[in-house]
Amino acid sequence: MPDRRAVASHYTRDTLLDYIEAGMVELGLNRETVSVEDLGPVDEFHIGGRIATERFLNDVALVANDHVLDIGCGLGGAARFAALQYDCDVTGIDLTNEYINVGRKLCKWVGLQNRICLEQGDAIATPFPNDRFDKAYMLHVGMNIADKVALFSEVRRVLKADGTFGIYDIMRVGPGELTYPVPWATKADDSALGSPDEYKRALKLAGFTVTAEQNRRDFALDFFARMQANMAAAEGPPPLGLHILMGEEAPTKLENMIQGISKDRIAPIEIVAEIVK
């Protein structure tokens, strides 16, 4: 079972903001000129990046003036996109303090600090009142949280009665051991992969009914093939990219994850659920 301190430590880089600013300088950007679109390659820490975010949030059916909860918000990339694209107010919560501190600065740089609130905290025990949010979502978060029932029950508590909950997680879809490290865990003890059936059982116990489910394996493999081709053509990673978040072991983490997807052991799965009426 993942330890909360180990999870936060896995994602902490200490000098993350420095690396992001250095990448911006290389691209000719600064705090006054950077946009939400510019930050997309580094602040969307999930398979498919911005492309996956837009499709996923369309499926969650965000609309203007929704108050949305982003669970495991990371740097707030999806939150900033949601606020800008769908005219939403977004509250994000994440266990990693550095992500929250950096994310707040990025929100200010792009002028969205009044529409987005990022808070450090535990997704299983949030500080929010009952019936607070219209919608909730999480992108690549459940792999670090073993107690899915507790997580989904907390989401149910803070959602309004007609709320929608979207999940885009890497899930266990077949037998076979994974090789570590991977982007979400340094070793097996830090990983809490669940199968789609386990997610759906946990959602049912928490008071949700599943309305849509989609395996995004083929999309993921195509995304990684294009990413690797672009890196080969450029003779290295881009100035802003997820390698900044993953550190020196980024190539190994990605290769191990791609291997797991290719061998049908894991896959990114999208689930949309609604509260049982």
What is the predicted pLDDT for the residue at 277? Answer: 81
Count other C-beta atoms under 10 Å from residue 201's C-beta: 14
Question: In this structure, what CATH number is given to the domain that contains residue 158?
Answer: 3.40.50.150
State the residue range of the domain holding 47: 4-275
What is the predicted pLDDT for the residue at 137? Answer: 98
Q: Exposed, middle or buried: residue 249 (CB in 10 Å: 0-12, 13-18, 19+)?
A: middle
What is the predicted pLDDT for the residue at 235? Answer: 82
Q: Are strands 116-120 and 133-139 parallel, antiparallel or unpaired?
A: unpaired
Q: Where are the alpha helices (DSSP H) in 110-177?
A: 148-158
What is the predicted pLDDT for the residue at 2? Answer: 81
What is the predicted pLDDT for the residue at 273? Answer: 98
Give a three-class secondary structure readout of 37-84.
Answer: HHHHHHHCCCCCHHHHHHHHHHHHCCCCCCEEEEECCCCCHHHHHHHH
d(C-alpha 136, C-alpha 151), whole Å: 12
State the 10-residue block means of pLDDT for the chain, 277 residues long. Answer: 86 94 96 96 94 96 97 97 97 97 98 97 97 98 97 98 97 97 95 98 98 97 93 88 93 97 98 94
Number of domains observed in the structure of the chain:
1
Residues in contact with 78: Cβ distance below 8 Å, sequence separation at least 6, in sequence order: 44, 53, 57, 70, 137, 139
Q: What SS3 state is found at 185?
A: strand
